[in-house]
Amino acid sequence: MRPKVTVVGAGNVGATCAERVAEKGYADVVLVDIVEGLPQGKALDLLQSGPIVGFDTSVTGSNSYEATDHSDIVVITSGVARKPGMSRDDLLLTNKKIVQAVTESVVRVSPDCIIIVVTNPLDAMTQLALHASRFPKHRVMGQSGVLDSARFRTFVAAEMGVSVHDVYACVLGGHGDTMVLLPRYSTVGGVPITELLPKSTIDRLVARTVNGGGEIVALLKTGSAFYAPGAAAAQMVDAMLMDRKKILPCATLLEGEYGMTGLVVGVPVRLGRKGVEQVIELKLTAEESAALRRSGDAVKELLSVMKLN
């Protein structure tokens, strides 16, 4: 029997993630959404791409969590985007209700699953899912740094005219304005970019990465990024289902690492079949540590609004 991967939320991010996972061919996929017909239609469309792309896994859509029972991994993309007149706190509390309800439903039918959270604000929603699920910390994580590092890798590769395969990027902290990119740990062919690019260029690429999502929103005008976020979540699924022991930046609960305790923050981790198998702790400068603390403080503010701390 193939592993089962459930994606909750059949919007652009969720559908893209489901597509990437289905195309790997080693896991059956279930799309879930509250909108009647939406997950069923997208699942059927995905399924019919199988003969063309070359996969024969099962792809189904449902409005019920019963179809997701005994999932190995559940990716939560459900949530709403900020609307005109909606404050940041309004958005936070709305998505809190959604993610909490989804998590409780997931846990009821798949008590042994691993949860990946994609809903924003990412770090706070991951902490909420951890709290609501009562799962051990290694089985609940957030997709943040995989996307952010991919954006930085894209920009560095384009700037230097090299393959993205040769570029590694290191990013810590929250998913958003407070993310902490570490150029001295980011490399091209194993060489730190600080030795290959002038500081002014690195600063420009860092700034573009921090505003990566905003740049896409400004161009689209009526939507936000979904190809890269969906692919990033699928890469995390792949790393765990295939037990690749891959080092990826993910939002995870820290228990003393980086001087933080009881807080979900983005850091490099080793992902394997059990989930987050190890937190990789880097040696930071005083400036980098201060930036990471500021990022953690921003997450604490959101938790305070949600009354989770």
- Tell me which residues are annotated as active site: 175
The answer to whether 18 touches 50, Cβ cutoff 8 Å, is no
Q: How far is CA 33 from the centre of its chain?
A: 19
The answer to whether 171 touches 181, Cβ cutoff 8 Å, is yes
Exposed (0-12), middle (13-18) or buried (19+): which is 66, by Cβ within 10 Å? Answer: exposed
User: Which is it for the CA torsion 1, 71, 145, 172, positive or negative?
Assistant: negative
How many Å apart are CA 90 and CA 86, to the nearest integer? Answer: 6
CA angle 84-90-96, nearest 5°? 130
Please tell me the total number of residues recorded for the chain in this structure.
309
DSSP 8-state assignment for residue 175:
S
